[in-house]
A and B are shown apart, each in its own frame.
Chain A
Amino acid sequence: MLAGYSLGELGSIMAMQGFAGLILFSVFVLMALGLAVIFGQMGVINMAHGEFMILGAYVTFLTSKLFTTYLPQAFGVYFFVAVVLAFIVAGALGMLVEWALIRRLYKRPLDTLLATWGLSLILQQVYRSIFGAREVGVDQPDWMMGAMNITNSIQIPINGLIVMVLTTFIAIGVYLLIFRMGWGKQVRAVMANRAMAGAVGIDTERVDRITFGLGCGIAGIAGSAFTMIGSTSPTAGQLYIVDTFLIVVFGGAASLAGTIASAFAISQARSTLEFFLSGSMAQVIVLLAVIAILMIRPQGLFVLKVRR
């Protein structure tokens, strides 16, 4: 399959496909960050994570419609407003879900998985009832559609760059919150021993709710980014959930750097392979490779050895 390409050409292909995959990579990173917070820190499997992303995408879609109707002169910046709104809406729904559902199931992780699957079905139907089954697309302002020329053969799309920068900020923010400030310590304390954490004065319910909301909010931002590469439909989120879970597991559930590195590896491998193979085969090969590596290192790539 590599026949006919020189090494230099291969390098260019990698680079171009790499930049083409920039937004996909960012969506993956954001999705995975949200999941890493929820799964890695809380141990909760949220099968509705994709639906939270799609919620963010619909919020972005609505925001763009509002701007075209009422504030056409400010349309150029609607995306940034949409990102904030997507975070707030998805985060609020996340906190509601935690309160209504997740907190009853902390001792039964596999059951959480099933209950959140039920939730994802309900959300899909809600989207379908409100927005219809058809895909909706979002218009992007002209200035974001352009590209920056780095060399003659390599161009970087502006929207990709913006999403990249946004992702970087969020990743740094999550890192600071979880590993540099007291918050992460509280979350881990609650996970390790709920009763004891409560006894030493941590408001465990609040910690759970905010952590879950945060993870869902980040998924909402992923949805905003998603509108730039795909059309939003009620079931679009489902396509991302398996990949995202594999990214988180592959990177080592508790490691943010691992999550980002594995999102990079997986999205790049996929977009590079897609150049040579059909999209479906590229996906199959990447998934199989991830599983094969996980069999060699089931704890993920970036987990330290600890006494169990």
Chain B
Amino acid sequence: MTFLTRKDMLWFVVLALVLLIVFPLGLETFRLNLFGKYLTYGFVVLGLVLCWGDAGILSLGQGVFFGLGGYCMAMFLKLEASTPAATKIQSTPGIPDFMDWNQLTALPAFWQPFHSLAFSLVAVVAVPTLLAFGIGLAMFTRRVGGTYFAIITQAFAAILTILIIGQQGYTGGVNGMTDLRTLLGWDIRTDHAKMILYFVNAVLLLGAALLSHVVRRSKLGRILVAMRDKEDRVRFSGYNVAHFKIFVFCFAAALAGVGGAMFTLQVGFMSPSFVGIVPSIELVIYCAVGGRTSLLGVIYGTVLVCAARAAFSEAMPQLWLFAMGSLFILVVVAFPTGLAGVYRTYLDPRLDRLLPWLGRGRAPTTATVERPMHAAAME
């Protein structure tokens, strides 16, 4: 079976060119760093394509996984920045500054392993995945789905935010973990470092998109779509539906964790404002705008919405919420297939006429999984 059609390949190469050449050449370092930040959300929306677009499982708690990945990375960087020499004015030198401000006198036990970069990198993926596994196991084996699942994941976003803000001695509280400086002695705050981190992020994102594509092209991908449509039929074809849901939820969480870590590295801090209900639902909107069943569409959608937001909030901050709110409503009501849907309806047929060789090499029996899901049945 062809795993990438010619057209898939073309658009993937175009995305790679945009991320690796057009953006770096066209944007000054400050803007490039901003776009790098937007692209970290790209990891989350890729996961949402599989989880929400394909399998019909709407998670309103993806910020939780993004945040956990980001915090795992931030904990490592914070420890590296909190050497006894750098913190000698504190009453307890050698621990992060916010702990000292909150009268902690020793590093809490769960912080200890984050002295190790290897452990931290594993944790970036493992912590979100394990939490997703736990939530998924509890929810999906009990057949909690649809809107109920959405509400409960949203509650998790609320819980984690409250917890982080409330436990400021352990987490840095509402300000988050700031003043992150070096990664194994390499200063991440310089323009040069930001440039390199941008490329690392872009390449990782392209890799994540390819990986997601592989998963969707497998039979598992078709089972996800089948589950969205007729869950009972899948169950009565001998599949343990819960396992597939847990898998795709964990997959999305793992990607989100990587995105969070790249966010921390590029932006230089992590705070609860990227974890809660609002950022989580915004991630879903990026996905909806891009087209919830198109891997490449959601990346463009994310960058576009974020860039528009930056432009808007600089020029007319009061209009931004109006614009954002109307965009949500417009996309959901009138364009449920998002940007990718517009492309497919209007541009794709022309492209086929223009470049007929692209249409060849298409796998003969692949479904168009790109239709919007209609009703994810309520349990």
State yes or no: do A and B touch (Cβ within 8 Å).
Answer: yes
> Which of chain B's residues has its CB closest to A120's CB?
B325
Could you tell me if A287 and B138 are in contact, using CB atoms closer than 8 angstroms?
Answer: no
Contact stretch, chosen from B10-18, B24-32, B83-91, B146-154: B146-154
Could you tell me if A119 and B147 are in contact, using CB atoms closer than 8 angstroms?
Answer: no
Q: CA of A133 to CA of B288 in the docked complex: distance in angstroms?
A: 29
Q: CA of A208 to CA of B2 in the docked complex: distance in angstroms?
A: 49
Give the residues from 319 to 377 in chain B that come closer than 8 angstroms, CB to CB, to chain A: 321-322, 324-329, 332-333, 336, 374-376
Q: A107-B375, A121-B325 are in contact. Are A295 and B162 (CB under 8 A)?
A: no
Min distance, Cβ B201 to any Cβ of chain A, angstroms: 27
Q: A288-B159, A294-B152, A298-B379 are in contact. Are A101 and B329 (CB under 8 A)?
A: yes
Q: A125-B318, A246-B155 are in contact. Are A298 and B142 (CB under 8 A)?
A: yes
Q: How large is the interface on B (under 10, 10 to 19, 20 to 34, 35 or more residues)?
A: 35 or more
> Which of chain B's residues has its CB closest to A126's CB?
B322
Could you tell me if B333 and A109 are in contact, using CB atoms closer than 8 angstroms?
Answer: no
> Which of chain A's residues has its CB closest to B284's CB?
A114
> Which among A107, A117, A124, A242 is the interface contact of B374 at CB below 8 angstroms?
A107
Interface string of B237-258 (1 = CB under 8 A from A): 0000000000000000000000
Task: Determine if A155 is an interface residue (Cβ-Cβ < 8 Å).
Answer: no
Min distance, Cβ B50 to any Cβ of chain A, angstroms: 16
Could you tell me if A280 and B162 are in contact, using CB atoms closer than 8 angstroms?
Answer: yes
Task: Determine if A156 is an interface residue (Cβ-Cβ < 8 Å).
Answer: no
> Which of chain A's residues has its CB closest to B143's CB?
A298
Q: CA of A283 to CA of B155 in the docked complex: distance in angstroms?
A: 11
> Which among B155, B159, B325 is the interface contact of A118 at CB below 8 angstroms?
B325
> Which of chain A's residues has its CB closest to B57's CB?
A110
Chain B residues with CB under 8 Å of A115's CB are: 328-329, 332-333
> Which of chain B's residues has its CB closest to A129's CB?
B318
Could you tell me if B148 and A242 are in contact, using CB atoms closer than 8 angstroms?
Answer: no
Instruction: Please give me the 6 A-B residue pairs with the lowest Cβ-Cβ distance, nearest first.
Output: A118-B328, A280-B166, A121-B325, A122-B325, A125-B321, A118-B329
Given A108-B375, A291-B152, 14 additional A-B pairs, CB 8 A: A109-B376, A110-B58, A110-B146, A115-B329, A115-B332, A118-B324, A125-B318, A242-B155, A249-B151, A249-B152, A284-B159, A284-B166, A288-B159, A291-B155
Q: CA of A217 to CA of B155 in the docked complex: distance in angstroms?
A: 25
A contact residues vs B (CB 8 Å cutoff): 39, 43, 45, 101, 104-105, 107-111, 113-115, 117-122, 124-125, 128-129, 238, 242, 245-246, 249, 278, 280-281, 283-284, 287-288, 290-291, 294-295, 298
Q: CA of A105 to CA of B165 in the docked complex: distance in angstroms?
A: 36
Q: CA of A129 to CA of B321 in the docked complex: distance in angstroms?
A: 11
> Which of chain A's residues has its CB closest to B232's CB?
A308
Q: A114-B285, A280-B165 are in contact. Are A121 and B155 (CB under 8 A)?
A: no
Could you tell me if B144 and A294 are in contact, using CB atoms closer than 8 angstroms?
Answer: yes
> Which of chain A's residues has its CB closest to B145's CB?
A298
Q: CA of A230 to CA of B84 in the docked complex: distance in angstroms?
A: 45
